[in-house]
Amino acid sequence: MIETLIEVQRLKSLERSGWMLRGLPPGSESVAAHSFGVAAAAMMLADEARARGAEVDVELVLRFALLHDWAEVRVGDLPRTASLYFGAEARQGAETAAFADLVQNLSDAVAEKYQALHQLYEDRACVESRLVKAADIIDLLVQTLAFERAGARGLNEFWENAATMDFKLAGVTAEVVAEALNDLKRAREKF
């Protein structure tokens, strides 16, 4: 376990490449800081959906949120544009292989469990994984808004990309995510 923890802690200093590509200074956001934001947003989305009657496994949501970017410690934080050059399948294959290597020092039972969770998240095979993907985008937009409020410009593409995303949610979970995204848009408009 310790070897994996030592490696995963490196996410604390791994820069989010998208911000650097847009001219923001080093130290703007680490992958670990982003993962924390995703976990917080995912928990809130899940709890709100549950409060409105949806069946959501909050523990599973939090596990997905914590694990979703672990592979980046091995492959780096590839920007969205990298998929244009490598292809989405190659990128996902590399991340799946990196994740499997990362957890190989854990007991067989735990490594298999984490690999299964990672694959379930990547496949967006359940409402919990789709909620975490929505939280991933919500955290991105919250960070974008924070940068814009601090004076950063040229980040419109993040808002434009988010507007076209389909998280494949339905009912209450779709409503909760839509409300969060609308609240973010309104906060930006007030700014």
Q: What is the CATH number of the domain that holds 29?
A: 1.10.3210.10
Taking alpha carbons only, the member of 149, 150, 126, 144 closest to residue 181 is 144
**With 90 as the cut, is the pLDDT of residue 163 above it?**
no
* Cα–Cα–Cα angle for 79, 77, 90, rounded to 5 degrees: 70
Structural domain containing residue 10: 2-190
Q: Is 75 left (phi over 0), alpha (psi -120 to 50) or beta?
A: alpha
How far, CA to CA in Å, does 190 sit from each of 84, 147, 180, 181, 184? 34, 15, 15, 14, 10
**With 90 as the cut, is the pLDDT of residue 147 above it?**
yes
Q: How many domains does the chain have?
A: 1
Q: CA–CA separation, 93 vs 121, rounded Å?
A: 14
**What is the per-residue pLDDT across 178-191, written as a single tens digit (0 to 9) for each?**
999 999 999 999 98
- pLDDT score, position 83: 79
**With 90 as the cut, is the pLDDT of residue 78 above it?**
no
Q: Give the contacts of 17 (CB within 8 A, at least 6 positions apart).
A: 76, 77, 78, 79
Residue-by-residue DSSP string for 36-68: HHHHHHHHHHHHHHHHTT----HHHHHHHHHHT
Q: CA–CA separation, 158 vs 182, rounded Å?
A: 14
**Residues 8, 102 contacting (CB under 8 angstroms):** yes
**What is the per-residue pLDDT across 117-136, written as a single tens digit (0 to 9) for each?**
999 999 999 999 999 999 99
Q: What is the DSSP letter of 16?
A: P
Query: What's the chain's length in residues?
Result: 191
How far, CA to CA in Å, does 168 sit from each of 2, 8, 133, 138, 178? 37, 30, 10, 15, 12
112 token code pair = 């298999």
